[in-house]
C-alpha cells in the first residue's frame, strides 16, 4: 500500500521544502527528503489510547471543549505519551478528560486508521461511581444509556464504532477484543 498524502512540508533541520521521493539507499518507500540538506524524515503512526468507562449499562461520554470537533461527544482518549504503557495512557486520558473514579479493564478495540496514520486502542473501564471532575478539555461529562447516545453528535468514527461494539457485546453478555480498520 502506498499513500500520496504529503504529511510534512518543511525540513525539521533547516526549514527548507521537502519532496516525497525514494531515498537513494535502496529504501522502497517514498520519504520526505529535504530539497536543500537532503535529510530523510522517517514518519510513523501515532497511538491514540482511551477507555469505555461504564456503569450499570451506561457509558461515560465527554463533550469536547477543544478543537477538533469542539462541542461533540467523545469517549475519553488522546495521544499516548512516551514512557507509559497503552493502558496507563488510556487511564491517564480518562483522569484528565473526565476526572472519573474507575478501574481499568481489558483491551476492547484496536483500530488502524491509515488515512491519518494512527492506531486507536480502547480499554474497558469499570466506573466506581458517576461523579466526574472534568478538566479543561471537557465541557461536560455524563452518563448515557444506549437509547440516549447522541449518535449524530459523536466526535469521531472510532468512538462511534467502539460504542457500537460495546452495546453489541453488552447484549451478547460477552466482551471480546475487536480489531478492525477504519478508512
Ligand atoms: Zn533540510
User: Cα(111)–Cα(137) distance, rounded to whole angstroms?
Assistant: 23
**CB atoms near residue 107 (< 10 Å):** 16
| Mean pLDDT of each 10-residue bin along the chain, 183 residues long | 64 96 91 96 94 98 96 97 98 97 98 95 98 96 98 98 98 98 95
Q: What is the Å distance from ligand 1's center to 20 Cα?
A: 13
pLDDT of residue 6: 65
- DSSP letter, residue 81: P
Q: Which domains does the chain have, with CATH numbers?
A: 1-43 (2.20.70.10), 46-181 (3.90.79.10)
Per-residue CA distances from 75 to 8, 23, 27, 54 (Å) = 29, 40, 39, 11
Q: What is the Å distance from ligand 1's center to 31 Cα?
A: 13
| Alpha carbon of residue 157 to chain centroid | 10
Amino acid at each position: 500500500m502506498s499513500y500520496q498524502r504529503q504529511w510534512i512540508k518543511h525540513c525539521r533541520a533547516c526549514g527548507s521544502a521537502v519532496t516525497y521521493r525514494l531515498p537513494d539507499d535502496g529504501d522502497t518507500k517514498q520519504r520526505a527528503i529535504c530539497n536543500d540538506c537532503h535529510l530523510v524524515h522517517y514518519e510513523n503512526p501515532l497511538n491514540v489510547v482511551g477507555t469505555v468507562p461504564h456503569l450499570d449499562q451506561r457509558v461515560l461520554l465527554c463533550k469536547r471543549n477543544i478543537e477538533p470537533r469542539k462541542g461533540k461527544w467523545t469517549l475519553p482518549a488522546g495521544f499516548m505519551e512516551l514512557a507509559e504503557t497503552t493502558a496507563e495512557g488510556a487511564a491517564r486520558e480518562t483522569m484528565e478528560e473526565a476526572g472519573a473514579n474507575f478501574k481499568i479493564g481489558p483491551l476492547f478495540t484496536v483500530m488502524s486508521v491509515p488515512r491519518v496514520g494512527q492506531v486507536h486502542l480502547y480499554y474497558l473501564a469499570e466506573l466506581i461511581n458517576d461523579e466526574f471532575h472534568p478538566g479543561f478539555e471537557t465541557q461536560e461529562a455524563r452518563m448515557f444509556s444506549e437509547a440516549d447516545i447522541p449518535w449524530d453528535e459523536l466526535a469521531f468514527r472510532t468512538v462511534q464504532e467502539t460504542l457500537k461494539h460495546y452495546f453489541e457485546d453488552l447484549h451478547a453478555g460477552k466482551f471480546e477484543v475487536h480489531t478492525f480498520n477504519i478508512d
